[in-house]
Amino acid sequence: MQKKHSLLPDFLIIGAGKSGTTSVDNYLKQHPSIFISSRKEPNFFGYELNTAEDFKGMPQLNHYNNSITDLNQYLQLFEPARENQLKGETSNTYMYHEAAPDRILHHIPKVKLIAILRQPAERLYSRFLHLARENRLPTENFSDCLDKNTVWWTRNDLIKEGFYGKYLSKYYKRFDKSQIKVFIFEELKNGPEKMMAEIFDFLGVDSSFELDFSVEYNQSGFIKNKKFDSVFGSNGLINKTAKTLLPNKLIHLLRKNVTVQKNLQTIRSKNLHKPKLEKELKKQITNNIYLDDIKLLEKVTGKDLSHWYKD
């Protein structure tokens, strides 16, 4: 077993949500030189200094209660790692959580940070479909997001999570740019082999290792059959029972097993209806809400993102 001081992660995937981070998290699990926490979204660096009282009566309370706030508990996530493995975890909240950049800098100043970003209007719509899948829609109509008097503007995981330029600026001010690697969702969608090889190079592991890309993870959409979803869905009976009865080590092995995940995701995807985002609505959301931040993001990262607002 490794000493506690060496159990802190070597790298973090900091977001953004609905941008392919679940897929990348699972692809990384396949590499023999990498250990990924079996628990996704521990959110430790966002909530370490908080207590439940800080969120009393607020929608964030449930999220806080489902996060790890104790350092020793956080380190336990990485105890199964071998000494020659790089350790990492994925918490999309690190992208936008106010405290996260400073807490990460405090604990692991030499850490490597990976961000994957999706056209913000598309990310918002994908989040909408994700909430539909979980029967947690804030409103029935997606177009309500244009109204600043709705819940879309008060919840952190909706409109606000798409201001990547604002959030990443804080990381670039605290960490050397050589420690930060930013990817665009299209890179993952159109060339996962190339993107993952770049991530492996960035982390300093063998980039020629061949991955299985056959599984499509964390798909979103409207549930067709709610009874079916109550058993096989991501929050269904099978998943909840496994988390309760199976040891963490076995859960980690099952999540790492491509065949198991492929079969599970295939079953779930067949029960989802995924209507497309209307082109005109996407344009309105981009121009009215995100355009200034996208241009800030271009300056911060040096990436040409004009296809996000010119298409």
Q: Is residue 227 part of a domain?
A: no
Beta-sheet pairing, 11-13 with 86-90: parallel
Domain carrying residue 210: 4-221+274-310
Ranges of residues in the chain whose predicted pLDDT is under 50:
1, 221-222, 231
Query: Residue 55 sits in a domain of what CATH number?
Result: 3.40.50.300
Residue 192 lies in a domain: yes
Q: Give dist(CA 23, CA 114) in Å, integer.
A: 13
Q: What is the pLDDT of residue 4?
A: 56
Domain assignment present for 141: yes
Q: Is residue 44 part of a domain?
A: yes
Looking at residue 250, its pLDDT comes to: 66
**Predicted pLDDT at 57:** 79
DSSP-based three-state secondary structure for 13? strand
User: Does some domain include residue 62?
Assistant: yes
Question: If you write DSSP's letter for every residue of 182-226 in order, what string do you get?
Answer: EEEHHHHHH-HHHHHHHHHHHHTS-TT---------S---EES-H
